[in-house]
Amino acid sequence: MSAAAILPPANSYEELFARFRWSVPAVFNIASACCDRWADGSGRVALIHEGPGGGVERVTFDALRSTSARLGNVLKAQGIGRGDRVAVLLPQGPEAAVAHLAIYRIGAIAVPLFQLFGPDALDFRLRDSGASALLTDDVGLAALGGVRERLSGLRTILCADGARPGVLSLWEMAERASDACPVVETAADDPALIIYTSGTTGSPKGALHAHRTLIGHLPGVEMPQEMFPQPGDLFWTPADWAWIGGLLDVLLPSLFHGVPVLAHRMAKFDPERAFDVMARHGVRNAFMPPTALRMMRQVDNPGRFGHRLRSIGSGGETLGAETLEWGREAFGLTINEFYGQTECNLVIANCAGLMPVKPGLMGRPVPGHQVAVIDAAGIVRAPGEEGRIAVRRPDPAMFLGYWNDPAATAAKFLGDWLVTGDMAATDEEGYVRFLGRTDDVITSAGYRIGPGEVEDCLLRHPAVALAAVIGLPDALRTEQVTAVIVPRAGVQPDDTLAQEIQGFVRERLAAHLYPRRVVFMQDLPMTTTGKVMRGKLRNALRGVDAVSPDTGP
């Protein structure tokens, strides 16, 4: 049995939204909620870990509790306590789960870091957070490079691969420690973790979240995962647990519900392996970023893997009608899109079991969240009118603020509205159509064009593997709609193909929406979370000749 969902039973979205009420206790700790209450000696499985060599390890809640308690005592012996920041530079696997639970257990603040970060990125985050300790492995130590000597505040480094000069062995220290480490009594509003924004523009900012953020995430997990949890559920995501999508959309909500999580790290996302891994382990629930789904769309005959999925949620970028249609064919289910930000996550979602899923629209407000599209004065826009997506405070999923940056925190709000910076419009039923980041919306010949609709059409062309649409300066039209295309394997890009793609979009959308420039590239610049870096594309392509001529009015 799993813990009951916090969303009430309902026969429609309207009934669900009307019936739901938050219940956030005054005292709440993630370690207790996600681990200790399930560690009853029954051997209940928490993690199924498939390592790089294919070996499979099953980790119980009992083992998670004991090991995280030991590691908590190790941290305390190193002088780490309530409010101290502890960085976690580890891949998907038992070590990362144990590290997080140990940190929450003693009232410290976790700072998850991505293993593909270079020395400068790690230096900034470790220095900005003021981390006193780092839990990592040999890969993480190598990524740090020479910046270790510059981090005077980083007093303790524990390595899962053993002791090194100036570095303690995480497991040896834990084995010698006592497993008696009661969970510190924390208020729901006490800080629990700092997750740095991906930093597509400007320096990354550390979003400080409270323990209650886990409760705030639960409706937004349960709804797009078709009323998760259900008997037999098993969750997996290729997204790294260093990001909010891996940590708070999958790992911690699953453990909260007593549902096992598959931990499997890919050095590089392999779409065929994703199908294979999910089928072999009987994964029932998945969070797959849109980019991963588009790569999986290129795999022939996906039904041959014999998956047992009952729900897929996707977020981070617009899903699009093409990927939605493919998902129904490949999986026999409707992929439910959801939306959120690092600062306030999982606030809009689809749920095919409760409401129609409209292609190109990312859903309706998740129960418990007040979400609207507003103008620059904070006035809610009428259906069909463009504005910025905003979430009203207080909200348990919402961050406490940016770490050591009150000015940036204040700038994020317009009155009681947290303003996301994402452009959207709603329809008459409250569904939200994502148009793009404020700086991604293209102004061309008086039209305002969101890239998502054009990208989705481009993906329907049989020669296109990946696509990004940006606006480039144009003296006549203000901006020129430009398509950056990664062709499918074996396709030879040339002017003829570019013109064919232009005509393909023009015939299916509209004359003002088709790309007047087509540029072919081998890959697209993306953030570590799989979002296309359109700003980087704009900077790279300014002044570059179009691959195809401007062929229309």
Give span(s): CATH 3.40.50.980, the chain.
Answer: 29-40+54-186
Burial grade of 528 (CB within 10 A; 0-12, 13-18, 19 or more):
middle
Give span(s): CATH 3.30.300.30, the chain.
Answer: 439-541
pLDDT at 553: 29
Confidence of residue 547 (pLDDT cuts 50, 70, 90): very low
pLDDT at 204: 83
Kindly tell me if the per-residue pLDDT of 160 is higher than 60. Answer: yes
Work out the average pLDDT over 486-515: 89
Instruction: Look up residue 196 and give its two tokens.
Output: 């740095």
pLDDT, tens only, 357-379: 999 899 999 999 999 999 999 99
Q: Given the DSSP bridges, would you call strands 417-426 and 413-414 parallel, antiparallel or unpaired?
A: antiparallel
DSSP classification of residue 248: I
Q: Give residue 431's identity as a one-letter amino acid code.
A: Y
The whole-angstrom separation of Cα 328 and Cα 32 is: 38
Kindly tell me if the per-residue pLDDT of 545 is higher than 70. Answer: no
The whole-angstrom separation of Cα 421 and Cα 424 is: 10
What b-and-e string marks burial along 423-457, b requiring 16 or more CB atoms within 10 Å of the CB? bbbbeeebbbbbbbbeebbbebeeeebbbbbbbbb
Kindly tell me if the per-residue pLDDT of 414 is higher than 90. Answer: yes
Q: What is the pTM of this model?
A: 0.84
The whole-angstrom separation of Cα 251 and Cα 245 is: 9
The whole-angstrom separation of Cα 265 and Cα 96 is: 12
Phi-psi region of 346 (alpha: psi -120 to 50; beta: other; left: phi over 0): left
More confident residue, 319 or 242: 242
pLDDT, tens only, 105-141: 999 999 999 888 888 889 989 999 999 999 999 999 9
Kindly tell me if the per-residue pLDDT of 549 is higher than 60. Answer: no
- 471 forms beta bridges with 481
Confidence of residue 548 (pLDDT cuts 50, 70, 90): very low
User: Which residue, 209, 90, 205, 107, is CA-closest to 157?
Assistant: 90
Whole-Å CA distances, 228 to 220, 222, 224, 346, 397: 10, 4, 8, 14, 18
The whole-angstrom separation of Cα 226 and Cα 208 is: 29
Q: Does domain 29-40+54-186 have CATH number 3.40.50.1820?
A: no
Fold of 439-541: GMP Synthetase; Chain A, domain 3 (3.30.300)
Name residue, tokens 């020129």.
Answer: 480
pLDDT at 198: 62
Confidence of residue 318 (pLDDT cuts 50, 70, 90): confident
Q: Given the DSSP bridges, would you call strands 478-487 and 464-474 parallel, antiparallel or unpaired?
A: antiparallel
Rounded to the nearest 10 degrees, the angle between the axes of helix 61-77 and helix 94-105 is 60
Confidence of residue 526 (pLDDT cuts 50, 70, 90): confident
More confident residue, 37 or 201: 37
pLDDT at 319: 83
Q: Report the SS3 class of residue 38.
A: helix
Average pLDDT, the chain: 92
Instruction: Look up residue 525 and give its two tokens.
Output: 């610049």
pLDDT, tens only, 56-84: 999 999 999 999 999 999 999 999 999 99
pLDDT at 127: 95
pLDDT, tens only, 465-474: 999 999 898 8
pLDDT at 199: 47
Q: Which of 107-121, 336-350, 518-532 has the highest mean pLDDT?
A: 336-350
- 348 forms beta bridges with 339, 365
Kindly tell me if the per-residue pLDDT of 201 is higher than 50. Answer: no
pLDDT, tens only, 16-72: 999 999 999 999 999 999 999 999 999 999 999 999 889 999 999 999 999 999 999
pLDDT at 533: 84
Work out the average pLDDT over 241-251: 95
Contact criterion met (CB below 8 Å) for 97 and 250: no
Q: Report the SS3 class of residue 453.
A: helix
The whole-angstrom separation of Cα 74 and Cα 381 is: 53
Burial grade of 287 (CB within 10 A; 0-12, 13-18, 19 or more):
buried
Confidence of residue 544 (pLDDT cuts 50, 70, 90): low
pLDDT at 446: 58
The whole-angstrom separation of Cα 295 and Cα 286 is: 15
pLDDT at 447: 64
